[in-house]
């Protein structure tokens, strides 16, 4: 429809609405008449491009262009034999590492208990040996004193030669016991030192266990990454909307970042129009409006002023006449409030009637 004819058509429609309104409501106050500003534009909307996160082959297509979808609904399914093989291998590797880790933990626990017991027993042996050494030294001291006493008595002829020899023999025996006890102490101390070396074995086994634990964690991380790739094969809609374009075919091999679907929430479409600077002062945010399209001449879609540009611009080039293009206009975005039947789609030409109030003389 040419631009001038469209404006004329809208003006006739508005006048008819006003006449019908006052015919039906003769008691209505006539000191304020609702007027409208008419403008034309195209339906717009925010699109969401759904891309592939992981490589795969399209093995199933469940939705096509023009179909309405719900958030979380599966649109397509991908598959990749190589990734599944990697996942199976990673699962086997993780299972083997977990078994090794379990065995390492069990061995480390047993080794720790064993070393602790050996150290405890070695310490007890050292204590016994040291106690025997103290006893031997005490006995030697007694024997030596007895030998000195008998020696003096023998010099005074109060003790026989036999008594002196016996005392000397006892001293030698006690001295020999000391040497044996000292050797036992040294031996038990060596056994204790050897038992304490078991702690280094524990440290070595603990390091091996920690290395296995790290390998297991890495294998588990690899599995999670592979599972995430597989989860991404289930291509789901991120919103309630309509599929505008489908960019893939059944059997096609896709790569990460490749576009799959373009979606739009048709419940949130807008109409962008351009208002002359002479009329922009009559508009405010949230003003009521109606949207009309040629495809549905009997339908009126309610709307509100959502956004008003702060700076003027020249009329866009898609306006038909040069006279209109050289005018300064302000871009105005109308939010369409009801598109539940998804009749309004991006790119459709549409007309807008923005309701304004202007005081006029009573009829």
- Quote the mean pLDDT of the chain: 83
DSSP H or E segment with residue 267: none
SS3 content of the chain, % helix, strand, coil (to 5): 50, 25, 25
Q: What are the angstrom distances between the C-alpha of 132 and each of 120, 185, 264, 335?
A: 19, 9, 94, 101
Structure tokens at 188: 């038990």
Structure tokens at 143: 């024997």
> What CA–CA distance (Å, rounded) separates 82 from 57?
11
Q: What percent of the chain has pLDDT over 70?
A: 82
CB 33 within 8 A of CB 22: no
What integer pLDDT is reported at residue 271 of this predicted model? 95
Q: What are the angstrom distances between the C-alpha of 156 and each of 92, 144, 149, 165, 171?
A: 95, 19, 11, 16, 21
Over the stretch 59-76, which tens digit does the pLDDT of each residue have? 999 999 988 899 999 999
3-class SS at 279? coil
Architecture of domain 48-78+233-263: Beta Barrel (2.40)
**Phi and psi angles of residue 310, each rounded to the nearest 5 degrees, phi first:** -90, -20
Domain segments of the chain as ranges: 3-46+265-359, 48-78+233-263, 83-229
Residue that has been written with the tokens 């004193």 in this structure? 145
Over the stretch 277-326, which tens digit does the pLDDT of each residue have? 889 999 999 999 999 999 898 999 999 999 999 888 887 655 544 445 44
Question: Which of 113-127, 134-148, 208-222 shows the lowest mean pLDDT across its residues?
Answer: 134-148
Q: Which residue has better confidence, 146 or 67? A: 67
What integer pLDDT is reported at residue 324 of this predicted model? 54
What integer pLDDT is reported at residue 29 of this predicted model? 45
CATH number 3.40.640.10 given to 3-46+265-359: no
Question: Which of 48-57, 194-203, 350-359 shows the lowest mean pLDDT across its residues?
Answer: 350-359
Residue that has been written with the tokens 């006893």 in this structure? 135
Count of residues for the chain? 363
Over the stretch 229-264, which tens digit does the pLDDT of each residue have? 888 899 999 988 889 899 999 999 999 999 999 999
* Count of helix runs (H) and strand runs (E) in the chain: 5, 15
Q: What are the angstrom distances between the C-alpha of 253 and each of 48, 127, 243, 249?
A: 22, 78, 21, 9
> What CA–CA distance (Å, rounded) separates 56 from 79?
5
User: Which residues touch 186 (CB under 8 Å, ≥6 apart)?
Assistant: none
What integer pLDDT is reported at residue 326 of this predicted model? 47
> What CA–CA distance (Å, rounded) separates 151 from 323?
147
CB 195 within 8 A of CB 115: yes
Nearest to 256 by CA among 48, 54, 50, 49: 54
In the CATH scheme, what is the code of domain 83-229? 1.10.287.620
Helices 198-231 and 81-155 pack at an angle, to 10 degrees, of 170
Q: Which string of DSSP letters, residue by residue, matches 282-334? A: G--TT-EEEEEETTEEEEEEEEEEEEE-SS-EEPPTTSS-HHHHTSEEEEEEE
Please, which pLDDT band fits residue 144 given cuts at 50, 70 and 90?
A: confident
């Amino acid at each position: 429809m040419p631009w001038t004819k469209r404006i004329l058509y809208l003006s006739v429609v508005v006048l008819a609405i006003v006449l019908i309104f006052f015919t039906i409501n003769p008691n209505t106050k006539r000191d304020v008449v609702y007027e409208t500003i008419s403008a034309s534009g195209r339906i717009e909307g925010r699109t969401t491009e759904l891309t592939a996160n992981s490589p795969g082959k399209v093995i199933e297509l469940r939705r096509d262009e023009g179909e309405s979808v719900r958030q979380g609904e599966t649109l397509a399914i991908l598959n990749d034999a190589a990734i599944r093989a990697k996942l199976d291998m990673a699962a086997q590797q993780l299972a083997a590492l977990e078994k090794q880790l379990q065995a390492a933990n069990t061995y480390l626990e047993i080794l720790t208990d064993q070393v602790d017991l050996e150290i405890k027993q070695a310490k007890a042996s050292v204590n016994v040996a040291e106690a025997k050494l103290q006893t031997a030294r005490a006995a030697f001291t007694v024997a030596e004193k007895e030998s000195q006493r008998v020696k003096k008595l023998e010099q005074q002829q109060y003790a026989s030669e036999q008594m002196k020899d016996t005392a000397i023999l006892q001293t030698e025996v006690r001295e020999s016991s000391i040497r044996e006890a000292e050797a036992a102490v040294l031996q038990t101390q060596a056994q204790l030192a050897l038992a304490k070396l078991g702690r280094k074995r524990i440290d070595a086994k603990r390091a091996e266990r920690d290395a296995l634990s790290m390998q297991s964690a890495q294998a588990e991380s690899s599995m999670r990454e592979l599972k995430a790739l597989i989860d991404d094969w289930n291509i789901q809609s991120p919103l309630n909307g309509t599929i505008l374009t489908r960019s893939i075919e059944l059997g096609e091999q896709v790569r990460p970042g490749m576009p799959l679907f373009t979606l739009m929430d048709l419940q949130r479409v807008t109409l962008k129009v351009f208002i002359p600077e002479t009329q922009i002062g009559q508009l405010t945010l949230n003003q009521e409006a109606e949207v009309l399209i040629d495809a549905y001449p009997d339908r009126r879609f309610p709307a509100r002023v959502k956004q008003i540009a702060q700076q003027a611009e020249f009329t866009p080039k898609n306006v038909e006449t040069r006279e209109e293009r050289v005018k300064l206009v302000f871009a105005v975005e109308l939010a369409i409030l009801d598109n539940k039947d998804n009749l309004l789609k991006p790119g459709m030409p549409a007309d807008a009637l923005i309701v304004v109030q202007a005081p006029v003389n009573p009829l």
